[in-house]
Amino acid sequence: MCEINEGYPMKFIHFSLFVFGFLFFIFFGHADALQVNEAGTTPAYLVPERFRSLPDAQKSEAYELRKKIEFMAENLVTTLEDPDPQGGTLSSGLVVCTFVDINNLYKTSSFGRYVAGQLMNELQRYSFTVIDMRKNQSVVMQEKRGEFGLSRDPDEVSSSHEAGAMLTGTYLVGEREIIVNASIVDNRKGGLLASATVIFPRNSLENLMLQDTAVAKKGASGVTYMKKFEM
């Protein structure tokens, strides 16, 4: 004869209710999260956390420099009248220029070149169309040296670019700090579209980058003063 365990049906019912309640919580909790995202007023392209890397265990000088530039990019985006990458203020393209010494607009350094280059990366991550004017019209290949696709030689780069806006910037070097101003300017009318100011504390890395200075002089060979923007 088989012995019937009268407690088994009740245990089965309790287990079934537990499983059903768990699935109910998961399903409707996920649905509520989707509704919050869909009803939110902040578009996905304005949420930089979606591409931020995890903080380094030891924050180096290079890490802190990059984080400052990330903060500058966020400030630029938030001050745009319409930050939609597809149909907004910068939908017709953006070119980024080297940041220069505020007291000499033809003088720059590795610091000014790095800030501009990193801002290109940051703004592209916001899905903006960012144009690199240094792109060579062909790839230069040299044995034992490598393949080179960027250039500042006017004869090797395109003479015109389709861009409706330009990102420019200046920096002022102080004894302990570097004040950096960034501006996005309309290429058609010269109007200011966005701006940001960030103070960088000076450290050994930035001091090294500031030592590598270069000055563009009027009349010097290899210097292009006019760049055509097709809009």
Which CATH topology does 51-217 take?
Rossmann fold (3.40.50)
Distance CA 170, CA 181 (A): 5
Please determine, for residue 78, whether its predicted confidence score (pLDDT) is greater than 80. yes
Which pair of tokens denotes residue 175?
A: 């004894």
More confident residue, 224 or 153: 153
pLDDT tens digits for 81-116?
999 988 899 988 888 888 999 999 989 999 999 999
pLDDT value at 196 more than 80: yes
Tell me, letter by letter, the H, E, C secondary structure of 75-101.
HHHHCCCCCCCCCCCCCCCEEECCCEE
Q: What is the mean pLDDT of the chain?
A: 75
Max avg pLDDT among 6-10, 203-207, 215-219: 203-207
Contact indicator for 162, 229 with CB cutoff of 8 Å: yes
Give bridge partners of residue 228 from the DSSP assignment: 160
Contact 100, 170 (CB under 8 A): yes
Helix axes 204-211, 61-78, angle to 10 degrees: 80
Quick one: pLDDT at residue 115?
A: 95
CB 150 within 8 A of CB 133: no
Position with higher pLDDT, 89 vs 40: 89
Q: What is the rounded distance in angstroms from the CA atom of residue 77 to the CA atom of residue 231?
A: 21
For residue 187, pLDDT over 80 is answered with yes
C-alpha to C-alpha distance for 131 and 120, rounded to whole angstroms: 8
**Domain spans of the chain, in order of start:** 7-40, 51-217
- pLDDT tens readout for residues 156-171: 545 556 778 899 999 9
pTM of the model: 0.66
Query: Which whole-number Å values give the CA distances from 82 to 22, 85, 91, 166, 196, in the listed order?
Result: 43, 9, 10, 16, 16
Asked whether the beta carbons of 45 and 83 are under 8 A apart, the reply is yes
Q: What amino acid occupies position 14?
A: H
The packing angle between helices 61-78 and 110-125, to 10°, is 60
- Owner of token pair 């102080």: 174
Strands 107-109 and 228-230: unpaired
Lowest-confidence segment of 25-34, 120-129, 180-189 by average pLDDT: 25-34
User: Kind and range of the H or E element at 224?
Assistant: none
Three-state secondary structure call for residue 158: coil
Mean pLDDT of 198-220: 85
pLDDT confidence of residue 142: 67
